Amino acid sequence: MAAKTCTKNVMNFIMRSPKFYTSIKLKELLLCRQLYFGCLVRPCLGGSSLHSLPGNRFSSAVVSSPFPSLVSCRTKSTRKADIQISMNLGVCGIEKLEDFTSLSDKSLEDEVTGQINESLEQGNTGRLYAVVYIRGIQHKVTAGDLIVVKYDFPPNVGDRLRLEKVLAVGGKDFSMIGQPLLSRNFVRVDATVVEKTLSHNRVWFVYQKRRSFKKFHLYREIFTVLAINSIQVARLPEQNEEIENQSTQKLE
């Protein structure tokens, strides 16, 4: 909790000083990808949305500040991780991160990809699961699951999303793990925003004995509930195909 207030204070300070704000915003605009996840600069929204609800204690800064687009209301570690990932995921950077593990033994690699492809073709994969990264937190999901994304999350109710940061995908008898991400060409996780609510009243009570020091706060967090619609995995490229593709690319 202390970390939250700390970040908020820091952000308030930055908000008040226009120089800091412009420099940071420009920097982040350059780095930021136009994804919902991991974005630091929130897209500007209309007046009526959950983000600046008066009940939310983080929103007071939003309403009063002259620059409503820059908000931080997450824990320190989450934010750090998020920044790191979104820095790595610049528009040109994402391709580098998407990679499959290349095994040292090439015949083994061929065998594994062949087996996975075979099970995909025959439909023996069973129920697929995926590990998805949203706002600094990893969720293990299958189709039909519900996830809660805490704090402010721009998509509105009824929006369909494609969760692009997929860390791992697996079936009944195989699992693929990205380094750190899997390619968007092979994996697709779709979700729908089902609900945007506030949590119940949570108590933040601070007390020091023998000091007549007491704080009692009630606050409500913003929850966004996502329903996972589907997880799809495409056929993996095999060794021969890859070589052919490379040759054709070179030719082109």
C-alpha neighbours within 13 Å on the C-beta side of residue 169: 25
Single out the residue of 145, 148, 106, 111 nearest to residue 128, CA to CA: 145
What are 142's two structure tokens? 């299958």
Query: CB of 123: closest distance to other proteins in angstroms?
Result: 15
Task: List CB contacts of 164: < 8 A, sequence separation 6 or more.
Answer: 35, 37, 184
Query: CB of 126: closest distance to other proteins in angstroms?
Result: 6
**Contact between 99 and other proteins (CB under 8 A)?**
no
Residue with smaller CB distance to other proteins, 88 or 119: 119
Rounded to whole angstroms, the Cα distance separating 57 from 5 reads 10
Applying the rule CB under 8 A, the residues between 162 and 181 that interact with other proteins are: 170-173, 175
DSSP class of 48: S
**Contact between 151 and other proteins (CB under 8 A)?**
no
Query: CB of 220: closest distance to other proteins in angstroms?
Result: 9
Helix, coil or strand: residue 239: helix
Residue with smaller CB distance to other proteins, 106 or 162: 162
Single out the residue of 26, 132, 137, 24 nearest to residue 79, CA to CA: 137
**Contact between 232 and other proteins (CB under 8 A)?**
no
Rounded to whole angstroms, the Cα distance separating 34 from 122 reads 37
Residue with smaller CB distance to other proteins, 28 or 223: 223
Rounded to whole angstroms, the Cα distance separating 40 from 118 reads 41
Rounded to whole angstroms, the Cα distance separating 36 from 163 reads 9
**Contact between 147 and other proteins (CB under 8 A)?**
yes
**Contact between 79 and other proteins (CB under 8 A)?**
no
Of the candidate spans 73-81, 90-98, 138-146, 211-219, the one that interacts with other proteins by CB under 8 A turns out to be 138-146
For residue 42, CA distances in Å to 65, 71, 79, 181 come to: 15, 8, 14, 23
**Contact between 88 and other proteins (CB under 8 A)?**
no
**Contact between 48 and other proteins (CB under 8 A)?**
yes
**Contact between 135 and other proteins (CB under 8 A)?**
no
**Contact between 132 and other proteins (CB under 8 A)?**
no
* Residue entry with tokens 């721009």: 154
Residue with smaller CB distance to other proteins, 14 or 147: 147
Applying the rule CB under 8 A, the residues between 212 and 231 that interact with other proteins are: 223, 225, 227, 229
Which residues are at the interface with other proteins (CB under 8 A)? 47-50, 52-54, 126-129, 139, 141-142, 144-148, 150, 156-158, 170-173, 175, 192-200, 223, 225, 227, 229
